[in-house]
Amino acid sequence: MANIFVSKSVPFGARTFTQVTSKLAAIKSAIVTWNAERMTKIALANLSDSQMNDIGLSRGDLHKMPLEMGKY
C-alpha cells in the first residue's frame, strides 16, 4: 500500500502567485549578479597597467573574471 502525502489545499491563485514571485525573485537575483560582475569588469578595465599590477591582476585576468566571481 502506498503512502501518499496530502498537503493542505491552497487556492489556485495563491499557489500561482507564489510560483511567479519566486521565479521573478530568481530572475532579479541573476540580473543583480550579472550587473555587479559587469560593473566590476568595467571598473577594472579602467585601471592602468600599474594599478592592475598593484592588486595582482593583469589585463588577461579580466576575461576570466565573471566565471570566477560566482565561485566565491
What pLDDT, in 10s, does the model give residues 3-54? 666 566 666 678 888 899 999 999 999 999 889 888 988 899 899 999 999 9
Domain boundaries, the chain: 35-72
Percent of the chain that is helix, strand, coil (3-state, to 5): 70, 0, 30
Q: What is the pLDDT of residue 66?
A: 60
- Predicted confidence (pLDDT) at residue 72 exceeds the cutoff of 70: no
Q: Do residues 65 and 37 lie in contact, with contact meaning Cβ atoms separated by under 8 Å? A: yes
The crossing angle, in degrees rounded to 10, of helices 12-45 and 61-69 is 160
